[in-house]
Every structure is written in C-alpha cells, then in structure tokens.
C-alpha cells in the first residue's frame, strides 16, 4: 500500500510541476508531459508496476507532444503578428552593391532601407541590380538568393 501511495504522490508532483512550468513559459511543451503524468496517476492508482507507469508517462507525453502540439500552436498563434525580421523572409529586394561572401561585401535595399546581405551559398556571387529573395536573417545580415522570375 505504501508504494502505490508514494507513486501517486510522485506523479501528482510531476503533474503540478509540469503545469506550473507551462503557466510561466506558455511554450505549449510541458503541458503534454502533464497529460502523461495524469495518465501515470491512473496507472499508479490501479497498482500497475512502476516500469509500466514510467512507460505510460513517456509514451503518452510523446504522443501528445508529437501529434497535438503543432495543432495547438497553430490555433493559439492564429492572431500572432510577425515581427519586422520575420516579415522580411520571402520578400524581394534589389542588390545595391555586389554580394560576395568570400570578400564579405554586399548591400541590398528593402523598403527604402539598406541592409548588409550575404548569399545563401558561400561561393555565390550576385551582381548589383539583381532582384533577390530573402531566405533568412542572421544577426543584422539578410541571407539572399536570386529571385525566380
């Protein structure tokens, strides 16, 4: 009787800890482990062996995380607005000075502002006047490739 009670307490503590972490981080990660802990509490309540409880916790948490997290993020982040940096990815800009990664040179103009730019491939050379598409942002540099027209 003592072992079952102690496992119930342990799983309850895990559940509470996961929920508190989720409350503070709002990362939609630890809540799925709380779901695994809840099912492990049920396994402990019906006196399943500890290894089964741990397995149930891991499997249920993993399944919840893998299958429902992407849906939940999409649902909860529906009204989230992109930051200025995120909104640059996919946009087109014009090369103002030749982009040469080996010489660490290159400027592009986007929305009336000049940005330091580098090509997506190390040995790629992009001439001034070329239209490029922004692939990524690394620090204050925009990573670009020639636009497909």
Neighbours of 68 (CB within 10 A): 14
CB 65 within 8 A of CB 98: no
What does the angle CA 28 – CA 90 – CA 117 come to, to the nearest 5 degrees? 110
How far apart CA 73 and CA 98 sit, in angstroms, is 40
| Residue 117 C-beta-side C-alpha neighbours within 13 Å | 34
User: What is the tens place of the pLDDT at every residue in 127-143?
Assistant: 999 999 999 888 888 99
CATH topology of domain 84-146: OB fold (Dihydrolipoamide Acetyltransferase, E2P) (2.40.50)
- Amino acid 88: pLDDT: 82
Domain ranges of the chain: 2-76, 84-146
- Amino acid 50: pLDDT: 93
How far apart CA 34 and CA 32 sit, in angstroms, is 5
The answer to whether the pTM exceeds 0.75 is: no
Instruction: Give strand pairing partners of 95.
Output: 108
- Amino acid 29: pLDDT: 76
Nearest alpha carbon to residue 118 among 129, 136, 92, 130 = 136
DSSP-assigned letter for residue 91 = -
- Amino acid 146: pLDDT: 92
Instruction: Give strand pairing partners of 149.
Output: none
User: What is the tens place of the pLDDT at every residue in 25-36?
Assistant: 877 778 889 999
pLDDT less than 50: residues of the chain? none
């Amino acid at each position: 009787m003592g072992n079952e009670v102690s496992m119930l307490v342990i799983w309850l503590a895990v559940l509470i800890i996961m929920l508190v972490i989720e409350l503070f981080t709002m990362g939609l990660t630890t809540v799925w482990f709380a779901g695994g802990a809840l099912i492990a509490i049920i396994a402990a309540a019906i006196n399943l062996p500890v290894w089964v409880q741990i397995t149930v916790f891991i499997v249920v948490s993993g399944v919840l995380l893998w299958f429902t997290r992407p849906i939940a993020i999409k649902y909860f982040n529906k009204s989230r607005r992109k930051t200025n940096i995120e909104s640059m990815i996919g946009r087109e800009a014009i090369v103002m000075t030749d982009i040469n990664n080996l010489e660490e040179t290159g400027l592009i103009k986007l929305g009336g502002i000049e940005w330091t730019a580098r090509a997506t491939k190390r040995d790629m050379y992009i001439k001034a006047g070329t239209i490029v598409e922004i692939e990524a942002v690394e620090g204050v540099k925009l990573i670009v490739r020639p636009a497909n027209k």
